[in-house]
Amino acid sequence: MNRVVSGIRSTGNLHLGNYFGALRNFIRMQQENECFFFIADYHSLTTHPDHTKLHGNVKSVLAEYLGSGLDPEQSTIYVQSDMPEVAELYLLLNMHAYIGELERTASFKEKIRKHSDNVNAGLLTYPVLMAADILIHRATQVPVGKDQEQHLEMTRKYARRFNNAYGTELFPEPQPYNFGEELIKIPGLDGSGKMGKSEGNGLYLIDTDKDIQKKVMRATTDEGPQAPFSVKSEAIENIFTLLKVVSTPDTVEYFNDKYNDCTIRYGDLKKQLAADIIAHVSPIRERILDIRSNDEYLSKVVKEGGEKARESARQTVKQVRELMGITSI
Ligand code: TYM
């Protein structure tokens, strides 16, 4: 059976990028694999979030995981910092991670550009901690969006490097769990780029129907197709990308045809998109709100999940220590 590991940082609420990037088809994923889903609170510290909000954010992501349909009976759901073994593996893997390759990571370069006042060592070694998250359960597959492709590639490199250094096959080289398709990038509706928490363009799982309607109706468009079958601008392409994710193929084809014969009305396109997003999100939101207020249930889930996760982690760390020559006197 494949082992799957997936993580989401606790820097805010889950948006459609997280949902469709990392959790798509999770029902099948949970049934067919041994799954570990965790909340990456250590990772969220790299950007110095308001520490008074961290605990609340961890709880929100947990409720959002559960509201999205992750099932603690089928999967191991835990908080990263409840499993300290990952910090040890991170330290040990750091001995095989080279500064040059870490400095060349796209996400690190982007962080330097955006936050030159906070270029900390945690940011530089972010991919090593992510590799530790994955390798600690000896995962074979990782569901991620397109933005995490390079981090996953680095995880494979560290797995290979470790195996070669110690003459072992301990770590599998984890592949993207890509649902049989390309890794996905959910765009924002502000004309360019991806949907993200720090981009301020998120459509969130806890948004009300009205919020969604408003955000979608405000989506950036252009002056309309100027000739039959003209190439779509990025803003329009982004709307169609979202439509493909939430709507039926017939609906997509209908609006595509309208675009191609220049009869499309962007207002109608947005109304349809908003309605189809709401159909996805509103039952999830109701479940999230329900679960969010049940502290007892939330604690029980992560307590049991944490214990299961630690059991799996301990076995790996024990072997890594032995392979690296760390044994008790
Ligand atoms: P984070 O919290 O930024 O995002 C969590 C997951 O959501 C995906 N995602 C997207 N997918 C498609 N389109 C988007 N617009 C979009 N925005 C976010 C991300 O690809 C990711 O799968 N480093 C990770 C967290 C992490 C992790 C791990 C993931 C830590 N350790 C181990 C997997 C395995 C991150 O920053 O995710």
Contact 309, 38 (CB under 8 A): yes
Q: Single out the catalytic residue among 59, 111, 215, 270.
A: 111
DSSP track, 217-259: HT----S--SSTTPPPPHHHHHHHHHHHHHS-HHHHHHHHHHH
Same domain, 35 and 138: yes
147 lines ligand 1 (CB under 6 A): yes
Contacts of 89 (CB under 8 A, 6+ apart): 132, 135, 136, 313, 316, 317, 320
Residue among 219, 213, 216 nearest 235 (CA): 219
Same domain, 284 and 143: no
pTM: 0.96
Same domain, 235 and 92: no
141-142: strand order across its sheet: 76-79, 34-40, 3-9, 141-142, 175-176
Its domain, for residue 68, covers 3-184+295-323
CA–CA dist 276, 253 (Å, integer): 15
Burial of 298 (0-12, 13-18, 19+ CB in 10 A): middle
18 lines ligand 1 (CB under 6 A): yes
Q: Is residue 191 part of a domain?
A: no
Q: Which atom of ligand 1 lies at the shortest distance from residue 9's CA?
A: 2
Helix (H) or strand (E) holding 123: helix 121-124
The gap from C-alpha 230 to its chain's centroid, in whole angstroms, comes to: 34
Same domain, 24 and 148: yes
Q: Single out the catalytic residue among 146, 185, 197, 232.
A: 197
Same domain, 213 and 170: no
Shortest-distance Cα residue to atom 9 of ligand 1: 18
142 lines ligand 1 (CB under 6 A): yes
Q: Is residue 26 part of a domain?
A: yes
Same domain, 27 and 170: yes
User: What distance in angstroms lies between residue 18's CA and the mean position of ligand 1's atoms?
Assistant: 6
Tokens of residue 170, six digits: 């301990």
Same domain, 32 and 142: yes
Tokens of residue 130, six digits: 């992510």
Same domain, 144 and 87: yes
145 lines ligand 1 (CB under 6 A): yes
* CATH code: domain of residue 299: 3.40.50.620
User: What distance in angstroms lies between residue 156's CA and the mean position of ligand 1's atoms?
Assistant: 17
Q: Which atom of ligand 1 lies at the shortest distance from residue 129's CA?
A: 31
17 lines ligand 1 (CB under 6 A): yes
Q: Is residue 33 part of a domain?
A: yes
Tokens of residue 129, six digits: 């901690």
130 lines ligand 1 (CB under 6 A): yes
In the prediction, which pLDDT does 279 show? 97
Sign of the torsion angle spanned by Cα atoms 236, 238, 241, 243 = negative
Q: Is residue 199 part of a domain?
A: no
* CATH code: domain of residue 279: 1.10.240.10
131 lines ligand 1 (CB under 6 A): no
Helix (H) or strand (E) holding 194: none
21 lines ligand 1 (CB under 6 A): yes
Same domain, 116 and 216: no
Q: Is residue 192 part of a domain?
A: no
Q: Is residue 88 part of a domain?
A: yes
Shortest-distance Cα residue to atom 14 of ligand 1: 17
In the prediction, which pLDDT does 179 show? 62
Q: Which atom of ligand 1 lies at the shortest distance from residue 22's CA?
A: 22
Same domain, 157 and 300: yes
Q: Is residue 139 part of a domain?
A: yes
Same domain, 315 and 167: yes
Q: How many domains does the chain have?
A: 2
Q: What is the pLDDT along the chain (329 residues), one digit of tens a residue?
A: 899 999 999 999 999 999 998 887 788 899 999 999 999 999 999 998 899 999 999 999 999 999 999 999 999 999 999 999 999 999 999 999 999 999 999 999 999 999 899 999 999 999 999 999 999 999 999 999 999 999 999 999 999 999 999 999 999 999 998 766 678 899 999 988 899 988 889 999 999 999 999 999 999 999 999 999 999 999 999 999 999 999 999 999 999 999 999 999 999 999 999 999 999 999 999 999 999 999 999 999 999 999 999 999 999 999 999 999 998 88
Tokens of residue 281, six digits: 């999100």
- Candidate from 26, 60, 144 with most ligand 1 atoms within 8 A of CB, to mutate: 144
Q: Is residue 195 part of a domain?
A: no
User: What distance in angstroms lies between residue 322's CA and the mean position of ligand 1's atoms?
Assistant: 32
Same domain, 281 and 304: no
Q: Single out the catalytic residue among 146, 157, 194, 308.
A: 194
DSSP track, 138-161: T-SEE---GGGHHHHHHHHHHHHH
The rounded radius of gyration (Å) of the Cα atoms in the chain is 21
Secondary structure of 71-115 in the HEC alphabet?
CCCCCEEEEHHHCCHHHHHHHHHHCCCCHHHHHCCHHHHHHHHHC
195 lines ligand 1 (CB under 6 A): yes
Report which DSSP code applies to 171. S
Active site residue 197: yes
